[in-house]
A = this chain, B = another copy of it.
Amino acid sequence: MDRVDEAIGGGARLLARLDRASTTQVVADALRERILDGQLRSGSQCQELQLTAALGVSRNTLREAFQILIAERLLVREPHRGVFVRRLEAADVRDIYAVRRLIECAALAAPASTRGLPEMQAAVETAHAAAARGDWYEVGNADVRFHLAITASVGSARVDRTMRALLAELRLAFQLMADAHALHEPFLGRNQQLVEMLEQRRPVEASIELAGYLDDAEQLLLATLTPVEP
């Protein structure tokens, strides 16, 4: 009974037996949430016995949930060793920012990008308010919403899904940093600036600014990432 990892489970059974979502889906959602908010830390192992005990589900169900999160690249399987919360390498960070530059800049340069303005403005305000009270986790959430608003202007469900998955992956890297403050603070003002450029109907300039913005964010993240050892 002195089982490990009581961060998971919280004692109560997860299944409200609402029977709208399958147990597998509920488990995948629960695990995803705990990965993204850092309760399950990058690199830590997800042992089947511990998690089945903590979540109150069978190994089969858990393993199906694992497959979902492995496909989302939040977990990795090492054959016959187990399933682990993914650790982002520097190469991953570079790759993710390459995709972000491609998609976000193309989305922002298009005339339709102004469609995302209301949501972008709202995200900037939320971020400022959260920063004022020192809630940098919420600043991170607002930043994600800001960039999703940019790509939402493309109007493609697949672009939305891809960006959502990409930004979720990126959170794995954020968690390796000591303070979210240093990461997000420089970009509060620049988000605001992008909004203004779009309000003034200068989408192409905004796109160019965003490219440099993403370059800087990538460098900042890489700089704080590399000193971390396995």
- Give the CA-CA distance A155 to B107 in the complex, in Å: 20
Contact segment of A9-17, A93-101, A191-199 = A93-101
A67 and B71 form a contact (CB under 8 A)? yes
A158 and B99 form a contact (CB under 8 A)? yes
- Give the CA-CA distance A157 to B169 in the complex, in Å: 14
B71 and A159 form a contact (CB under 8 A)? no
B67 and A157 form a contact (CB under 8 A)? no
A227, CB-defined interface residue at 8 Å: no
Interface of A is mostly: helix
> Which residue of chain B lies nearest to A156 when distances are taken between CB atoms in the complex?
B98
Q: Closest Cβ of chain B: how far from A220's Cβ, in Å?
A: 20
- Give the CA-CA distance A106 to B159 in the complex, in Å: 14
A218, CB-defined interface residue at 8 Å: no
A184, CB-defined interface residue at 8 Å: no
Interface residues on A, range: 20 to 34
* Chain B residues near A22 (CB-CB < 8 A): 79
Q: Closest Cβ of chain B: how far from A156's Cβ, in Å?
A: 5
A167, CB-defined interface residue at 8 Å: no
* Chain B residues near A103 (CB-CB < 8 A): 102-103
* Chain B residues near A98 (CB-CB < 8 A): 154-156, 158-159
Given A98-B159, A102-B107, A162-B162, 9 new contacts (CB under 8 A): A22-B79, A67-B68, A68-B71, A98-B154, A98-B156, A98-B158, A99-B156, A102-B106, A102-B156
23 residue pairs bridging A and B, Cβ less than 8 Å apart: A22-B79, A60-B60, A60-B63, A64-B64, A67-B67, A67-B71, A71-B71, A71-B72, A95-B156, A95-B158, A98-B158, A99-B156, A99-B158, A99-B159, A99-B162, A102-B103, A102-B106, A102-B107, A102-B154, A102-B156, A103-B103, A158-B166, A162-B162
